[in-house]
């Protein structure tokens, strides 16, 4: 039964009911996903599409419109920076693209799949397998080695990685020689690179990063950026990175500027 995409060489199906149910869900999910893609024709390089996305928080008089009509198309392999003042809706947008949150209105399609059609279980599976989320704080598990931290998303699904892909990721991120170290033995920049490796291990359609260098000094920021660029170049990874650091934004191929929940700038730089 070959129903899982990605860096999987071996699957262990325990006979437990939970595992079976998870598999059934994924099968339905995967079938819908493949049909959607076939219907669309797979010639398009578009990996992300938003149409009229709005997000309103709160009720009655205390409503806040965090996103106010976002239309956006991103192609496979693009490296996009999202900039804008605090409160302009950057994190909200990222959460909606990552299926962490749902829009009030509008449509989000990632890798041919309409996110509004997913139930809660499917959304959780989507999050784990199709997007990589990286935050300012690395959220590594302090009692596990670097290697085990990176493999955690696969372990949660009782899957084994493709050794070749694992090696490529850790080499690209410059942490191949630190795999048996514990997180607290690493610098901030190294820890963030471990978090990025963990988010890449499923070969996500999108890597979404919210201020990933916000907690780092200049040297570590440089390190993390270089590694993101390398994963973009070597693995063809599509990346959306939120930043308030102009130097970080200037590394991207495309800069989206948000203001009051709207895209007011979309600049392609090369």
Token pair belonging to 77: 């392999």
Residue 91 binds Mg ion, judged by CB under 5 A: yes
Q: Check binding of 92 to ligand ADP (CB under 6 A).
A: yes
In sequence order, what are the residues at sequence separation of 6 or more whose Cβ sits closer than 8 angstroms to the Cβ of residue 6?
Answer: 129, 202, 203
Q: CB of 254 within 8 A of CB of 78?
A: yes
Q: Which does 92 bind (CB under 5 to 8 A by kind): Mg ion, ligand ADP, none?
A: ligand ADP
- For ligand ADP, which stretch binds (CB under 6 A), given 27-35, 85-93, 119-127, 129-137? 85-93
- Looking at beta carbons only, is 93 or 195 nearer to Mg ion? 93
Cβ count within 10 A of residue 89: 25
Of the candidates 160, 53, 180, 69, the residue with the CA atom closest to the CA atom of residue 110: 53
For Mg ion (CB under 5 A), the number of binding residues is: 1
Interface mask toward ligand ADP for 25-64; x: CB under 6 A = --------------------------------xx-----x
Query: Among the candidate windows 42-50, 51-59, 85-93, 168-176, which touches Mg ion by CB under 5 A?
Result: 85-93
Stretch that binds ligand ADP, among 81-89, 135-143, 183-191, 198-206 (CB under 6 A): 81-89
Strands (E), the chain: 8-11, 46-57, 64-75, 79-83, 105-110, 113-114, 131-134, 159-161, 206-210, 239-242, 254-259, 262-268
Two structure tokens written together for 61:
């008089």
| 241, 80 contact by CB (below 8 A) | yes
Q: Which is nearer to ligand ADP, 131 or 201 (CB)?
A: 131
Contact 254, 81 (CB under 8 A): yes
Which does residue 66 touch among ligand ADP, Mg ion, none (CB within 5 to 8 A, set by kind)? ligand ADP
List of residues contacting ligand ADP (CB under 6 A): 57-58, 64, 66, 84, 86-92
């Amino acid at each position: 039964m070959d129903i899982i995409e990605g860096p999987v060489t071996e699957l262990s199906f325990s006979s437990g009911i939970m595992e079976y149910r998870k598999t059934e869900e994924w099968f339905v999910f995967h079938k819908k996903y493949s049909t959607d893609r076939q219907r669309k024709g797979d010639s398009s390089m578009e990996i992300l599409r938003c149409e009229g996305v709005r997000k309103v928080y709160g009720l009655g008089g205390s409503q806040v419109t965090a996103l106010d009509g976002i239309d956006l198309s991103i192609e496979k392999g693009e490296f996009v920076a999202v900039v804008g003042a605090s409160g302009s809706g950057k994190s909200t947008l990222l959460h909606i693209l990552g299926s962490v949150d749902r829009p009030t209105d509008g449509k989000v399609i990632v890798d041919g799949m309409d996110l509004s059609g997913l139930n809660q279980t499917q959304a959780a599976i989507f999050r784990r397998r199709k997007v990589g989320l990286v935050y300012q704080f690395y959220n590594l598990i302090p009692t596990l080695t670097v290697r085990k931290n990176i493999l955690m998303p696969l372990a949660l699904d009782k899957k084994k990685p493709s050794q070749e892909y694992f090696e490529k990721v850790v080499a690209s991120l410059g942490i191949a020689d630190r795999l048996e170290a514990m997180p607290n033995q690493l610098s901030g920049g190294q820890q963030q690179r471990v978090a990025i490796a963990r988010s890449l291990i499923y070969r996500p359609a999108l890597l979404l990063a919210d201020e990933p260098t916000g907690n780092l000094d200049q040297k570590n920021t440089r390190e993390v950026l270089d590694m993101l660029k390398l994963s973009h170049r070597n693995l063809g990874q599509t990346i959306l990175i939120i930043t308030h650091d102009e130097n970080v934004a200037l590394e991207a191929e495309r800069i989206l500027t948000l203001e009051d929940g709207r895209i007011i700038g979309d600049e392609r730089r090369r």
